[in-house]
Amino acid sequence: GLVRKPAAFISTISDERGSELMYSGVKISEVFDSQMGIGGVISLLWFKRRLPDVYTKFIEMAIMLCADHGPAVSGALNTIVTARAGKDLVSSLVSGLLTIGDRFGGALDGAARMFTSGLDRGLTARELVDEARRNGVLLPGIGHKIKSVSNPDYRVQVVKEYVLKNFKTHPTLDYALAVERVTTQKKDTLILNVDGCIAVCFVDLLRESSAFTREEADDYIKMGGLNAIFVLARSIGFIGHFLDQKRLRAPLYRHPADDFMLEMTEPPRIQVDGRR
Ligand code: ACO
Ligand code: LMR
């Protein structure tokens, strides 16, 4: 009989071989007929399931709110400088994306782990904050350069209000808000930031909805994919900044020399025998 050649790759999210393209087993015509939107497409391709509207709307909301935050943030600035150096769309986009990490936009995974770890170990908010300080680590998802208690981040308020109103239970968000009450006692800017808020709400989506088993939810938290929300969202803004610079015919950028403090000392002369 026929012997099937062993497959080099296994792939489980899309199939284009039949008459209709399928996302996780759902025909593309059904994707459109059901009006699942981009949140529904993300739930099929990222999580291989149809999430209820309340969650696909949450995903869409997070993407809309994180799409851009002005030209001054690390990633947008990189994209702008790269576009002005005459580079193409993909180069400018990735130069922006490469700034996303623990400090800028990429704190979701760390926040999800940190807050679930505190919650699961039964630590009070104060104990989690003290533990982080003892370990010399900053709490991912806490702190902002310009937003503060007195200058609140509208994005965080929108996400928070939506989840408090529409998710049946939200223990991780509640816990993160308790942590925020502790950190903002120290400094006004140590708020639950947009990364942190989306991350803990995502943990509540994964853990508290019946769409995932607890094991699946905790696997996603460990896997390190939650930053994808920010990466996808901010790509929209970075592309906007690329087009903006090209439209403006912005010339090559050179930073003003007087904005650098140049400090140089002559290096020690090292002799052949290694003596200085
Ligand atoms: N957890 C605990 N303490 C903190 C945190 C934190 N996350 N962030 C700052 N602090 C403390 C600092 O240790 C410092 O304390 P000290 O005065 O006793 O030394 C004080 O707050 C001020 O710190 P700065 O470094 O001046 O804060 P800055 O405003 O420059 O930093 C930043 C902002 C980078 C966002 C910082 O808070 C941070 O690294 N947070 C964690 C990472 C994170 O969530 N990033 C995502 C930001 S939102 C986004 O990018 C979309
Ligand atoms: C962002 O969304 O880019 C930020 O919250 C970071 C910032 O400093 O504005």
pLDDT for position 2: 78
Paired tokens of 176: 């993160």
Q: How far apart are CA 206 and CA 229, in angstroms?
A: 14
Protein residue whose Cα sits closest to atom 12 of ligand 1: 138
Residue 14 bridge partners (DSSP): 23
Task: Count other Cβ atoms within 10 Å, centred on residue 173.
Answer: 25
Mind giving me the DSSP string for 109-137?
HHHHHHHHHHHHTT--HHHHHHHHHHTT-
Give the CA angle between residues 53, 58, 59 to the nearest 5°: 100
Q: For residue 59, how many C-alpha atoms fall within 13 Å in the half-sphere facing its CB?
A: 25
- Rg of the chain, C-alpha, whole Å: 23
Q: Are 196 and 142 in contact (CB under 8 A)?
A: yes
pLDDT for position 275: 73
Reduced to 3 states, what is the DSSP secondary structure of residue 221? helix
- What are the strands of the beta sheet with 22-23, ordered from one edge? 14-15, 22-23, 26-27
Q: Which residues line ligand 1 (CB under 6 A)?
A: 102-105, 107, 138-145, 183, 187, 189-190, 193-196
ipTM of the complex: 0.97
Q: Does the beta carbon of 121 lie inside 6 Å of ligand 2?
A: no
pLDDT for position 86: 98
Ligand 1 centre and the CA of 218: distance in Å? 27
Maximal C-alpha separation, the chain: 79
Nearest Cα residue to 60 out of 46, 44, 40, 34: 40
Ligand 2 centre and the CA of 73: distance in Å? 6
Q: How far apart are CA 276 and CA 263, in angstroms?
A: 22
Residue 27 bridge partners (DSSP): 22
63, 69, 100, 147: residue to mutate for ligand 2 pocket, most atoms within 8 A of CB: 69
Reduced to 3 states, what is the DSSP secondary structure of residue 235? helix
Give me the amino acid identity at 254: R
Q: How far apart are CA 41 and CA 39, in angstroms?
A: 5
pLDDT for position 5: 87
Ligand 2 centre and the CA of 65: distance in Å? 11
Nearest Cα residue to 36 out of 26, 147, 263, 156: 26
Q: pLDDT of the chain along its 276 residues, tens only? A: 778 889 999 999 999 999 999 999 999 999 999 999 999 999 999 999 999 999 999 999 999 999 999 999 999 999 999 999 999 999 999 999 999 999 999 999 999 999 999 999 999 999 999 999 999 999 999 999 999 999 999 999 999 999 999 999 999 999 999 999 999 999 999 999 999 999 999 999 999 999 999 999 999 999 999 999 999 999 999 999 999 999 999 999 999 999 999 998 998 888 888 776
Ligand 1 centre and the CA of 222: distance in Å? 23
Q: Does the beta carbon of 77 lie inside 6 Å of ligand 2?
A: no
Q: Are 109 and 225 in contact (CB under 8 A)?
A: yes
Q: Are 183 and 129 in contact (CB under 8 A)?
A: yes
pTM: 0.94
